[in-house]
Structure 1
């Protein structure tokens, strides 16, 4: 009933708005946009009074970004598809995830058990810091049918300036997914209060984040024939198919406080705006920067009763049991920066920094008592950068640990971007290189739980990376190449235990995206990644992953933008990693191949003034595909056919 009520209210509001708009709209002479015509540009629909920036955590370097109001492809703006075009997960949004594209994989924290939740977790770098002349807020609601097995997401945020310098933003993001399969439900809560201050000499960014994710673990289907041979098991629906585990829960919780502030010394300079108009601009010369980040992470695993058949080892209890590990990090970074705005002759900026990080690791020992391990490391580094300029920009930086158990860990990286015109078309060239030598984090080497115990002494990992891309925005074309060499690579073997590969593993990936437009109304978007792993037993990868989106777009009543289309995801068959519920980690396996199955969804997407909304028929091809092998990873099928809906409403006053 609540869905019907929601749709009725929204439809009434849409009709009223359309009527009001159509009565006010008049054709403009000389306009190239007539009824039913939609331009092919990816325009941004946001108030000019709202400016957004994202920052780099270590020094608070800000970069302007567009506010997410682009009307096109709203159904694909979900957490998983935004993370990667191919993912391994249990079918439910909010469950642990690993990208099947090697270079899409992230590691947002130093806590081993947080990585599977990276698509959902916010860090300070993921937040958009706003500056608004009027309050700006957004309400987003996503859901699916049937209601008793739905996926729901409610996201609310409000941003406002108390004055020209100080902005405060509140964020609330809630996931609640009941699951299409048995014992699969999960939920996630993200709450944040953050803001920024932009003064003449003093500026700051601050954020407090609380995030809590919990999910039931079902261990996958007890028999994959329920999916691959549905005619023989017609009495089963997805929610009644037997699974491997019951009464098992896992979770991840993180709380963090971030504060970056900077005091700049400089001088005022008169800038000529027009012939008869000037303004005064503050030119920073030297800035003193301090960043504090405090983070506490907790990983939980609870069994109402231990399943000794599914788990190979049971170390402590065969009755109800809980495992908990935790991580605390306090990091202080102090930096001195020579700003490039002042350095007009050499046109680059210099930064030197020292960083101290104190880590505490907690877990239960063999006597069921809490054991702590403390660790402190200090690193120094520097940056040579040119972040301004129309033709090219670059950033060269390096750091090394000089004190602590991770002494000798280092990273050297560089990136450069060039922008020029070729054949009357704009071209963007980017290149990046990195060499990184890192010690294994504590929980890679030490872990104590009911089903897994390990104590290792791994060598440092050495990774070298080089990548580049060329982009022609007017032709909607982008090509990229990435190459990595991983020595002493850490991974989970077929026993779901951490191990270190001997020698090196190379990864080569070619990626391309091309948008094709046919007349005024039809378009085909294409993304593809071709990747090669020199050792599929250590880093298994699908050779090819594709995303395609064919749609028709038009405009009704000169105000309602309509997009009707079909999108699909596909990757070739390979020995996809399996998933271990007890640790929440993905591990290699060589028994079951996953892939060669397209997942297609049909959708209708709309944009009306400040509102976006859509209806999507997810996995539409399930009913007529002869191949029913629609698994995301071994024993974990993707969700069957379902109807999804969503709305996002912006308010600028």
Structure 2
């Protein structure tokens, strides 16, 4: 069957997901929404009261959390464009631009090459980023935050259960920001629709989603070398950042994708009583994704990118990715949860034409269809929690396999010890293997010369709010593949994918602890990193730290709760990865160091009922601690600015 015809059938096919709800905590996690009153309970005409624990958020792995309207310092860390903690990332100057990564997690269960333009994927929502919901009354959440000149960002979400067995949600996150520098506009949109359903007897379950996303960024190549020095010297005439003339002002790149995803299952055997708990289910997943990345420039800039075939640059690469699996899962009180799946994948990556360069033809497609398998095991034995999975691609071309094992021991309600082992072998990303461009330097075919990237990571951690949260992981990487600054010829940077033939050892140690004294608190997060290799191909800062001193109180008869404080961010100086706007990728370079500068933010946050209000003076120390602050070589970090916004939940 043609895979294009399967998208409309997704929500007529079925799938199974076991939502495993964590035990209800003994103390309420919310103060004002732990009991949300409603006069319209599902399937009832009587007034009732719904606890906050009934507003469930279910992840891809079926872990369940609850709507949380509290005001905490962790909410402050996540109040940003990505709505994630940015401890290990540093933002570029404009909202919606990319982030330079300060540390890397080498554990992964993904055994497929990733798509092009990974620097654009920070805000691209993958299958694992989509949540599903179950709510007793309609729930709405609005997120708003100001940006940098002429725009705003808004994330609007709504979900409702039309019955106890059927839920749907719809959400859209939009951004437009002109930015303070020339040709740096960002305009993005993320649309999501989710649904889940189960039959009255609970034997058949399904859930699925539709995601449509477009991420557009204007590109300017960063500051020229002369302007970098003027920026560092803080010359008065360029304190208005729009005065800068960047390397070019006529380019933009765009990442767009649409995905249709469905999972469903049927319980063949479903018996549960006080003595037995056996379940045998058949399950199926169907997923189709269509993506493209394009780089457009109205006239070629040969002084920046080198020679070109055409004067007008129009690079475009596409990926069609179809995935389906069929499997069985078995659950038993003694044996735990065991599952096995056979999967089928069809991929079509590439370009619409061939390129001839230096008497060599650059092919235009990577096409393959193949089978694979996935197995998983999960069980709780006493205080031990065991979780493991294994998978492989049964293909000679798209090679890949993984093993992921985790074990946790719960000493007490507040103290967990966790350990893990992850082994992953997969091909480098598609744009490492094959790339075409109107610029001659950006054409290569490495399908026959690049081997699989092999990584092994061993991790250990302690989880305790009372004592300390700490983690250690050690990784070994073979055949590390990266974009490398090979040379600079007549001021043109020659950037090519490179596979490192020797081993790399990478150590990370992270410690987090909050200290409290009355209404004051000091939250500390510190990371130490060390890389051992014969060459400088994997660069990270040795130290990253974030320290937040803040004060919390309640006023107006506890109707308003507020927090105010100062956040200190710092990472040590190092040869940070550079950014290539054509590839929308970061590359390794060892000529320019950044870092070693403090970033101080002052914030005042408040909560009234279910509304959280945020006000922050970002990087307020920029005028008196020096202007040698960059997110990447030639790309300055953000200047001092004041931003505000809110997050508002409605329980109807």
| TM-score, length basis structure 2 | 0.85
Do structure 1's residue 244 and structure 2's residue 247 form an aligned pair? yes
Q: Is the 8 A contact 2:389 2:404 kept in 1?
A: yes
Q: Which of 412, 415, 418 matches 1:430?
A: 418
Do structure 1's residue 383 and structure 2's residue 376 form an aligned pair? yes
Q: Is the 8 A contact 2:106 2:475 kept in 1?
A: no
Q: Which residue of 1 aligns with 2:168?
A: 168
Q: Which residue of 2 aligns with 1:10?
A: none
Q: Is the 8 A contact 2:523 2:548 kept in 1?
A: yes
Q: Which residue of 2 aligns with 1:16?
A: none
Distance 1:505 1:304 in 2: 41
Distance 2:128 2:431 in 1: 25
Deviation at 1:105, TM superposition (A): 9.6
Q: Deviations over 1:202-249 (max 9, x none)?
A: 11110000000000111111221232101x343541121221111100
Do structure 1's residue 309 and structure 2's residue 299 form an aligned pair? no
Q: Deviations over 1:388-415 (max 9, x none)?
A: 57722111221222245235x2211101
- SS of aligned partner of 1:82: coil
Q: Is the 8 A contact 2:32 2:610 kept in 1?
A: no
Deviation at 1:556, TM superposition (A): 0.7
Q: How does 1:33-52 map to 2 (within 5 A)?
A: 45=33, 47=36, 48=51, 50-52=54-56
Closer, same or farther: CA 67–241 of 1 in aligned 2, 3 Å: same
Q: Which residue of 1 aligns with 2:565?
A: 565
Distance 1:40 1:525 in 2: 22
Q: How does 1:254-273 map to 2 (within 5 A)?
A: 254-269=257-272
Q: Which residue of 1 aligns with 2:532?
A: 534
Closer, same or farther: CA 171–545 of 1 in aligned 2, 3 Å: same
Q: Is the 8 A contact 1:375 1:404 kept in 2?
A: no
Q: Deviations over 1:370-391 (max 9, x none)?
A: 95432112112322221x5772
Distance 1:597 1:390 in 2: 48
Q: Is the 8 A contact 2:94 2:184 kept in 1?
A: yes
Deviation at 1:649, TM superposition (A): 0.8
Q: Which of 399, 402, 405 matches 2:394?
A: 402
Distance 1:367 1:531 in 2: 42
Q: Which residue of 1 aligns with 2:84?
A: 82
- SS of aligned partner of 2:223: coil
Deviation at 1:89, TM superposition (A): 4.6
| TM-score, length basis structure 1 | 0.85
Distance 1:307 1:185 in 2: 20
- SS of aligned partner of 1:622: coil
Distance 2:220 2:603 in 1: 30
Q: Which residue of 1 aligns with 2:191?
A: 191
Q: Deviations over 1:350-381 (max 9, x none)?
A: 11111111000121434699954321121123
- SS of aligned partner of 2:72: coil
Q: Is the 8 A contact 2:338 2:377 kept in 1?
A: yes
Q: Deviations over 1:552-591 (max 9, x none)?
A: 1100111100101111211000000111111011011111
Do structure 1's residue 547 and structure 2's residue 551 form an aligned pair? no
Closer, same or farther: CA 66–547 of 1 in aligned 2, 3 Å: farther
Q: Deviations over 1:322-369 (max 9, x none)?
A: 100010100001110011xxx22x341211111111000121434699
- SS of aligned partner of 1:449: coil
Q: Deviations over 1:240-285 (max 9, x none)?
A: 122111110011111111101011133454569xxxxxxxxx9551
Q: Is the 8 A contact 1:137 1:651 kept in 2?
A: yes
Q: How does 1:250-649 map to 2 (within 5 A)?
A: 250-269=253-272, 283=277, 285-311=279-305, 313-317=306-310, 319-339=311-331, 343-344=332-333, 346-366=334-354, 371-386=364-379, 391-407=383-399, 409-421=400-412, 426-451=414-439, 452-456=442-446, 457-475=449-467, 477-494=468-485, 495-519=494-518, 521-535=519-533, 537-557=536-556, 558-625=558-625, 627-649=626-648
Closer, same or farther: CA 80–296 of 1 in aligned 2, 3 Å: same
Deviation at 1:315, TM superposition (A): 2.9
Deviation at 1:62, TM superposition (A): 0.6
Distance 1:191 1:493 in 2: 35
Q: Is the 8 A contact 2:55 2:136 kept in 1?
A: no
Distance 2:297 2:246 in 1: 15
Distance 1:136 1:271 in 2: 36
Closer, same or farther: CA 40–64 of 1 in aligned 2, 3 Å: closer
User: Gapped runs of 5+ residues in structure 2?
Assistant: 1-26, 37-50, 357-361, 486-493
- SS of aligned partner of 1:225: helix
Distance 2:115 2:100 in 1: 13
Q: Is the 8 A contact 2:116 2:430 kept in 1?
A: no
Distance 1:649 1:79 in 2: 16
Q: Is the 8 A contact 2:132 2:196 kept in 1?
A: yes
- SS of aligned partner of 2:466: helix
Deviation at 1:123, TM superposition (A): 2.2
Deviation at 1:41, TM superposition (A): 8.0
Distance 2:117 2:363 in 1: 21
Deviation at 1:156, TM superposition (A): 0.5
Question: How many residues are aligned here?
Answer: 584
Q: Is the 8 A contact 1:99 1:105 kept in 2?
A: no
Closer, same or farther: CA 235–287 of 1 in aligned 2, 3 Å: closer
